Amino acid sequence: MKELAWTEAVKLASPYSYALAVSLDAAGRPNAMGLGWWCYLSAEPKLLGIAVAPERYTHECIRHTREFTLCFPSKLMALAAWKCGQVSEREVDKFAEFGLRALPAKVVKPPLIKNCTVAFECKLAQEVATGDHTLFVGKIVATHGNPDKKEHLFTQFFSKLVSMAHDGGCDWKLDRTLGLPGQLQR
Determine, following the binding rule CB under 8 A, whether residue 32 of this chain makes contact with its own copies: no
Distance in Å, CB of 28 to its own copies, minimum:
21
| 161, 164, 166, 167 alpha-carbon torsion, rounded to 10° | -140
Rule CB under 8 A: say whether 141 interacts with its own copies: no
Question: Segment 35-64, which members bind its own copies (CB under 8 A)?
Answer: 36-47, 49, 51
Distance in Å, CB of 62 to its own copies, minimum:
16
Judged by CB under 8 A, does residue 28 bind its own copies? no
Write the CB contacts of 172 (distance below 8 Å, at least 6 apart in sequence): 181, 183, 184
Query: Among 46, 51, 44, 57, which Cα is nearest to 16's?
Result: 51
Q: Are 123 and 139 in contact (CB under 8 A)?
A: yes
Query: Binding of its own copies at residue 12 (CB under 8 A)?
Result: yes
Binding segment (CB under 8 A) for its own copies, from list 21-29, 55-63, 87-95, 141-149:
141-149
